[in-house]
Structure 1
Amino acid sequence: MRVALVQLVSTTDSATNRAEIAGQLAALTPSDGLDLVVLPEGAMHDFGAPDLDLAPVAEPLDGPFVQLLTAEAQRLQTTFIAGMFEQTDGLPFNTLVVVDGDGLRATYRKIHLYDSFGYRESDRLSPGAIEPVVVEIAGRPVGLMTCYDLRFPEHARALVDAGAELLVVPAAWVAGEHKLHHWRTLLTARAIENTVHVVAAAQGGDRYTGHSAAIDPWGSIVVEAEDAPAILQAVLAANDVAHAREVNPSLANRRIRS
């Protein structure tokens, strides 16, 4: 599987963000042979100030953001996973959309809202249903997580128990003391303990940590960005997972199961 991770810096203007995304994606062509392109959490619209009401800017699942992804998926002959705020009758969902050239394939609504480090995401957004979401992309079972979900190992394990061999983690990982260390460590831990690939597309810039990355099932960094906008590409071989699980059968050796 060939994956592209798009690190960007979203604003609180959705039309500007769509233009910026289209501009960055122009660097990709069908000849890249991409199976999956991942954009960060909040790619449609930044979180903004802690008191910014996100309901008025949230979009339906057939709105302009998903329309852009569908057009780009058609052009690149690939599948996108990206973060948006999904319109509801009340507080929006923080939603990942899975989009190919035919349109919306699946959604994952963030389960663990970021009520931590003095921030309260739950004041502005609704949590999703507590159920793992795994989708097949290019013949690989892909589990979906968003940002703060990464801090909950039981979430990743539930995805793996549902068949995931690759975890995709779009994020807007807020910068701060210890935060880059936590980001790298948790991405690596989720890969090692589950013997899976982990790919994470993050928001960059001054407010967020950046450092989008792809991690292999041994916990080695395949590719990693800094904090500026960037597009990374990585090839993730399915037999890497099979080999890691043969050498390190920790999943099979579990004696405590939920």
Structure 2
Amino acid sequence: MAPYYKIALIQLYPEPLQPDLNYAKAANYIVSAAMRGAKLAVLPEYHLTNWAPEDPKFREICTQWEKYLNKYKELAKKLKICIVPGTIVQTYQHGEGVEEQLHNIAYFIGPDGEILGRYQKKNIWHPERPHLTSSSEHPHLTFDTPLGPVGLLICWDLAFPEAFRELIASGAKMIIIPTFWTLTDCSPAALALNPLSESLFLQTTVVARAFENTAAIVFVNAGAAPPASPGYKEDSHYAGLSQVALPFVGGLGDETKSTSREGMSIVEVDMVVVEEAERNYKVRADINGEAWHYSYRHQSFGQEEVKQEQ
């Protein structure tokens, strides 16, 4: 298995509630990525719909989730490329008489069009909670791909190091994070302190996760509408900053990592760097060792035990 891959980071602007238009735009980017030798193409969270849960059309579009998933499966097979189609929000009926749920799902589609991995968003951002159902205590799973062992996370999961630890403990070398993260995802008080605080959050945390987990972090965020688009605004709230972060190296992605605008970066990723980081830091060795310290749960009884010992 070659340790060197080209990965396409597609920092798409999702036209609100326009899934056909957004799919067509995404497909054009993926075709271009395949022609440039990319082995994997990644899209942002909510790339088909944007985030508009209060609009009745949003839920209606979510009922069509399988149509778009099948389109991406067919495209992957045709182009012989792996695709993570951002996230696709889908309706789920748990049982008769039970209220229909919305699940925010990321898929990893292999170059033969088969689904190799699936993940339902666990850590749901506060404004999303009235609309989405979390995967709750289901474990974070690593799965095998042509690019090696991979894990999937989504957006606000980035803030939880426990999710990354669980994935690398099960062998993940690459963690892919489709995201819809804007500059206004914080309080007025925080914005008054620093209007670009969310950019600072992303730029520091994505790279930190690569170092502390000796992993390649593939972070793909939504971008702002390009100047030629009807949705263009000069003062946009989109954060962008899509990149692949590697230990020692930092963030890669010349066309997207320092901009908020829609675009695509083709990043050359050398996974030998990940192996060298583990030889240097030995994070995985420690996690899987008998003397690993942090096998506790974050619950109140743990605090009581500490008090008793003191």
TM-score by length of 2: 0.75
Deviation digits for residues 156-188 of structure 1, max 9, x if unmatched? Answer: 111111110111111001223310000111101
Map of 1:222-237 to 2, 5 A cutoff?
A: 222-224=252-254, 225=256, 226-237=259-270
1:36 equivalenced with 2:71 (yes/no): no
1:133 equivalenced with 2:141 (yes/no): yes
Q: Give how far 1:139 is off.
A: 4.4
CA RMSD of aligned residues (A): 1.9
| Range that drifts further, 147-156 or 90-99 | 90-99
Partner of 1:108: 119
| SS at 2:283 equivalent | coil
Partner of 1:180: 199
1:10 to 7, 14, 23: 14
Q: Give how far 1:13 is off.
A: 1.4
Q: Matches of 1:221 and 1:169 in 2, distance apart? A: 14
CA contact (8 A) 1:140 1:238 kept: no
Deviation digits for residues 79-110 of structure 1, max 9, x if unmatched? Answer: 11121101212121011012233343331100
How many residues were matched structurally? 251
- Give the letter for the 2:156 counterpart: Y
CA contact (8 A) 1:99 1:106 kept: yes
Deviation digits for residues 15-65 of structure 1, max 9, x if unmatched? Answer: 1211221233342334x33221111111121112x633543221465x221
Deviation digits for residues 169-211 of structure 1, max 9, x if unmatched? Answer: 1100122331000011110111111111111111011232111
Q: Give how far 1:253 is off.
A: 4.0
Q: Give how far 1:236 is off.
A: 2.0
| Range that drifts further, 182-191 or 243-252 | 243-252
Q: Give how far 1:66 is off.
A: 1.1
Q: Matches of 1:253 and 1:161 in 2, distance apart? A: 10
Q: Give how far 1:229 is off.
A: 1.4
Partner of 1:156: 164
Distance verdict in 2 for CA 1:214–1:65, change over 3 Å? same
| Range that drifts further, 146-155 or 225-234 | 225-234
Runs (4 or more) in structure 1 with deviation over 6 Å come to none
Partner of 2:72: 69
Partner of 1:215: 245
Q: Matches of 2:274 and 2:150 in 1, distance apart? A: 13
1:98 to 108, 114, 118: 108
| Range that drifts further, 214-223 or 176-185 | 214-223
Partner of 2:223: 204
Q: Give how far 1:249 is off.
A: 1.8
Partner of 1:19: 24
1:256 equivalenced with 2:293 (yes/no): yes
Distance verdict in 2 for CA 1:239–1:14, change over 3 Å? same
Q: Matches of 2:211 and 2:165 in 1, distance apart? A: 11
1:170 equivalenced with 2:173 (yes/no): no
Q: Matches of 2:251 and 2:139 in 1, distance apart? A: 29
Unaligned runs of 5+ in 2: 94-99, 185-194, 225-235, 296-310
| Range that drifts further, 183-192 or 222-231 | 222-231
Partner of 2:91: 87
CA contact (8 A) 1:191 1:219 kept: no
| SS at 1:160 equivalent | helix
Distance verdict in 2 for CA 1:201–1:59, change over 3 Å? farther
CA contact (8 A) 2:33 2:41 kept: no
Choose between structure 1 and 2: higher helix proportion: 2
Unaligned runs of 5+ in 1: none
TM-score by length of 1: 0.90
Q: Give how far 1:214 is off.
A: 0.8
| Range that drifts further, 247-256 or 105-114 | 247-256
CA contact (8 A) 1:215 1:223 kept: no
1:124 equivalenced with 2:134 (yes/no): no
